[in-house]
Structure 1
């Protein structure tokens, strides 16, 4: 029991750090690309072109993750969760350091390469999901523990909003700069490496070998869709992820371009978003999973999230735009926990790591499509982003209802 608890807490800590490093970009990259004072793009570059570049910059990470996640899921299944975590953590540290250096030299091409490296090694969450699935045998225990994982992810978001906005502002201190948060997250991630090395107890038996195929993600998705029970849940996860990613990935650009608010105000709103997410994972999800099935919870929370996003997109005042967004985060934490649980329950126990790799591949694919397509849409009109999010969430609701 002590060994399970130790591994579980280590998995939560790594998930916290992983989302901390991932979330920093949402407070930093929009102003870095859109504001010529940061030195990446000149004043002459049009706003539409900058939105396209922003979409590419945000999208390169999940694109690399899409190819890397199934591989690391297999590594966790064949060589053990602990070894896979150690490798991905070291690669993540390297990616964060590269990102910081790219910010120093103000090279957009170098920044793209750095984010690709970070994304390629960002298989931590899928391994953490597999670890939680290994040690959580009962369906309701799985749902509760996946809920705690969403709390760890939300905590990483909050820290990113606090430190990302604060440590990147040179007006506060001459020691602060846009690259400093990435050095900090690299150092903290190395602490995570030490935590896994000394406190993580293997939760899965080892197998002799694993192979790598550059098209493995596509083969894995094809294989996943052959599992009848898993297929509809993965479709739902994909379209729901697209809808939710449009919400939070484009919150900062919409705030800057449509509401013309300050970066400090955006940071505070994103901070409240993280708090709402944690409240959903800590209080709302545990309360609901004791009373309803994961499928039932997913259906109703997806529908209510779509309604809240609709209210957000028709809001004229920035406060209400943010308020409905906060409420949607409360429900989204419940949705994600229970969708993960449904994926785990639909997969054979011998391929839990691969199943969690499937789920992260579908999310990574959604995370790749959203910024690239969003950049093209924003080039025409950024006001179309949230209506598209509403449609995608509504579509995922009907998929859940149908299955």
Structure 2
């Protein structure tokens, strides 16, 4: 692949990541106000506490991503990135359309099922990360990953902003917009994204049946390697902490300051803008000055402090605090996967990125369940619990990897 071809593939990939992540993030400013402020058959299903119903929905979607990312990234190693990406986008479109139907009919169980199916398809973010690695060389790996990270955050900016603005007109509209975005993404992939995975491994295993591929080539098989297993625990606790923040700051904003859907969308836009700018401009500087591991530990520690500080936040200070939080998340979210890729360069990158995405999704599920129970006593405690988990992640990274990582970075 020439440098220009690699750039064209990268630009196309970034557009797909933007659309996909915007679709993922669209519902976030919608669900919390829906379950706290509205009373109907959907939000009172089975006479269950609305916070528990919300927590289940927050868990079922990443559970789907967990399952999907465990094999979608590995499947792209075998069958090709482009082909697998198109299939997952089709299923995402179907999932969003059925979500619209479930909301209009106030069918909670159908909505939960469609969120699960959509989550499985959204495991394709592992493919995007793998393509970013594939394009190096001729392109720089760190630069590629930084741009993918920035575009991911841009999707997280655009999605909640649109979702928040659409919320007053009906929750279903956000999912309809997401379905349209997925259709556009399918067209773009078909016409503009080239195949980046032209390895001997692909040719050798392309004849595998889906059943054998799932059994022999899923991302969890990497955990039999002790060094990868140790890094898995670092990712697990750090993403548990991150998800404690992601999943419960909208609830905290509603409980503490009575934020509406549009206000949650706006503050999320500020948060993700800080993440985007940091990914593009700050990451290369931080990496050059501190290295991958030291930069990760510093940003993770500061993030933990900000989590504990939520108890002291006022309505006005939260807007400024979320800018700093966005910068911190951008740093360690990019540094840790790049570190993993460099440490295990001999491992299939689709499978490795799938394991990282799977870990994030696993923590998403666990935190949705644990955090929703803790939130019964106050959502701020769910967020502060995340700060404690981040300190554990820092300890694991320091004692298990710091010396080895310093030598290699």
Task: Report the TM-score when normalising by structure 2.
Answer: 0.89
Deviation at 1:58, TM superposition (A): 1.1
Measured in 2, the distance between the counterparts of 1:80 and 1:392 equals: 37
Please report how far the alpha carbon of residue 79 of structure 1 lies from its aligned counterpart in structure 2 after TM superposition: 0.8
From 186, 189, 193, the counterpart of 1:193: 186
Asked whether the 8 Å contact 1:247–1:389 carries over to 2, the reply is yes
- The equivalent of 2:38 in structure 1 is 36
Indicate if the aligned counterparts of 1:74 and 1:210 stay in contact, CA closer than 8 A.
no
Contact 1:72–1:84 (8 Å) recurs in 2:
yes
Matches within 5 A, 1:216-365: 220=218, 222-315=220-313, 317-349=314-346, 351-365=348-362
Q: Secondary structure at the match of 2:43?
A: coil
Whole-Å separation in 2 of the counterparts to 1:222 and 1:274: 30
Deviations 1:135-182 (A, max 9, x none): 1249x9322221111111111111112211112322xxxxxx211121
Could you give the per-residue CA deviations for residues 179-226 of structure 1, whole angstroms, max 9, x where no partner exists? Answer: 112111111111111111111111112332344469969995653223
CA drift at 1:391: 0.2
Whichever structure has more helix as a proportion of its residues is 2
Matched, 1:394 2:394: no
Task: Give me the whole-angstrom Cα distance separating, in 2, the residues matched to 1:217 and 1:360.
Answer: 18
Query: Conserved in 2, the CA contact under 8 Å of 1:39 and 1:106?
Result: yes
Contact 1:146 1:341 in 2 (8 A): yes
| Alignment of 1:76 onto 2:69 | no
Alignment of 1:120-131 (within 5 A): 120-131=120-131
Shift in CA distance, 119/210, structure 1 to aligned 2, threshold 3 Å:
farther
Structure 1 residue 339, shift from structure 2 partner:
1.1
1:202 aligns with 2:195: yes
State which of 2, 7, 10 in structure 1 corresponds to 2:9.
7
1:40-51 matches, cutoff 5 A: 40-42=42-44, 49-51=49-51
Q: Which runs of 5+ in 1 are unaligned?
A: 171-176
Q: Secondary structure at the match of 1:230?
A: helix
Preserved contact between residue 161 and residue 268 of structure 2 (Cα < 8 Å): no
How far the C-alpha of 1:60 sits from its partner, in A, is: 0.5
Q: Does 1:17 align with 2:19?
A: yes
Q: Cα 1:160–1:218, aligned 2, differ >3 Å: closer, same or farther?
A: farther
Q: Distance in 2 between matches of 1:264 and 1:168?
A: 7
TM superposition shift of 1:349: 3.9
Name whichever of 117-126 and 202-211 sits farther off: 202-211
Conserved in 2, the CA contact under 8 Å of 1:15 and 1:124?
no
